[in-house]
Amino acid sequence: MNADDLTLLVTGANGQVGQELRRRAPGRAQNVVALDRAGLDIGDADAVAAAVAKIRPSVIINAAAYTAVDQAESAAAEADRGNRIGPANLAAAAAAQNAALIHISTDYVFDGRGKRPYRADDPVSPLGIYGQSKEAGERAVRDALARHVILRTAWVYAAHGSNFMRTMLRVGHTRDELKVVDDQHGTPTPAADIAEACLSIAGHLAGSDGEKFAGTYHYVAEGETTWAGFAEAIFERAAVVWGRRPSVTRITSAEYPVPAPRPAYSVLDCAPTLATFKTPRQPWQAGLEAELSAFFATLENNKG
Ligand SMILES: NC(=O)c1ccc[n+]([C@@H]2O[C@H](COP(=O)([O-])OP(=O)(O)OC[C@H]3O[C@@H](n4cnc5c(N)ncnc54)[C@H](OP(=O)(O)O)[C@@H]3O)[C@@H](O)[C@H]2O)c1
């Protein structure tokens, strides 16, 4: 199937990845329908079935999720609705309308005891409610729909939205010293790059032989760091604009207690994804440079 025949339905269109999909999908598909939560609540089975029957997408990209990792520890029902029931509804509706589904998932399905990048078929063992609900969502998609891709990603950020980069910039703007966790290893990944990966995959999955691409894949930027390493890289670039550079004190997870446990190591092996879908990828530092440039350019434009 070429772009002229492709109709895409994007859910969660106001999230970090959703906004990037909304920006990038036109031109890559004949028709793009991007719905935020107000336009389509994926937890509502009837609404999902009706929307998919009406839009008749060739591919649905599910960027909607309950992503509040710590809040999930005391909101299991909400996490389940967004992360298991929602994807199950989308997969059932896709099956009924002969559509394919790209469902975004997370590195938090792993427990982080691994010592080399996780492969897609490594055993899952999520540590917290968020990871458990996402893992249940993956199973729901696999059970209901053959023509699916589950794309696990990690440490998502953008110049917009709610994310670690923006938190560091907000706090670092006024503070000279920040304590940041240095014993969790992963790969900061721009939402824009994940959106591009989804669009590459959509082109493959939409074809009449789309089922041969079905399965679970990983996509993160190249390389790895810790949250403290990420913070230092953010401040190194911000210092060019601010004329000052906050210092980062490296601490352990035990020194920064939060409700949800996180994997200590969640670097993802992306080799099969790159080989199968020819998805572009850049080192995490290059992605950060692009997102920080966009962030500071927006600030500058808003001033003028
Ligand atoms: N953020 C990360 O670091 C990270 C890491 C690994 C994987 N992921 C995965 O990547 C995907 C995209 O994440 P993101 O960072 O773009 O998340 P995000 O910015 O939090 O966006 C998620 C969007 O989904 C919407 N949503 C929540 N429940 C919904 C529902 N029932 N129906 C429709 N929309 C709903 C949210 O709307 P409201 O704003 O109204 O709630 C929000 O706009 C998710 O699958 C997430 O699990 C994220």
260 vs 301, residue with greater confidence: 260
* 130 noted as active-site residue: yes
Is residue 82 helix, strand or coil? Answer: helix
Q: Is 279 in the pocket of ligand 1 (CB under 6 A)?
A: no
In a domain, 145, yes or no: yes
- 23, 37, 62, 262, best to mutate for ligand 1 pocket (most atoms within 8 Å of CB): 37
DSSP summary character for residue 74? G
Q: How far apart are the first and last CA of the chain?
A: 45
> What is the domain extent for residue 29?
3-161+189-222+267-282
Question: What does the DSSP 8-state code read for residue 151?
Answer: E
**Cα dihedral angle (240, 183, 167, 236), rounded to 10 degrees?**
0
pLDDT tens digits, one per residue of 185-233: 999 999 999 999 999 999 999 987 888 999 999 999 999 999 999 999 9
37 lines ligand 1 (CB under 6 A): yes
- 20 located within any domain: yes
Q: How far apart are CA 81 and CA 87, in angstroms?
A: 9
291 found inside a domain: no
In a domain, 154, yes or no: yes
Point out the catalytic residue in the list 66, 108, 118, 130.
130
Express each pLDDT in 114-152 by its tens digit: 999 999 999 999 999 999 999 999 999 999 999 999 999
Asked whether residue 12 is domain-assigned, the answer is yes
In a domain, 131, yes or no: yes
Predicted confidence (pLDDT) per residue in 64-74, tens digit: 999 999 999 99
Residue 229 lies in a domain: no
- Number of domains forming the structure of the chain: 1
pLDDT at 61: 98
Confidence of residue 30 (pLDDT cuts 50, 70, 90): confident
Global pTM value: 0.96
**Is the predicted pLDDT of residue 298 greater than 90, yes or no?**
no
Residue range 228-251, pLDDT digits in tens: 999 999 999 999 999 999 999 999
CA of residue 63 to ligand 1 center, whole Å:
6
Q: Is the backbone of residue 34 left (phi > 0), alpha (psi -120 to 50) or beta?
A: beta
Q: What is the mean pLDDT of the chain?
A: 96
pLDDT digits (tens, 9 = 90+) for 270-283: 999 999 999 999 99
- Angstrom distance (rounded) from CA 171 to CA 252: 19
- What DSSP element (H or E) covers 291? helix 284-303
In a domain, 241, yes or no: no
**124's tokens:** 């899952």
Give the CATH number for residue 215. Answer: 3.40.50.720
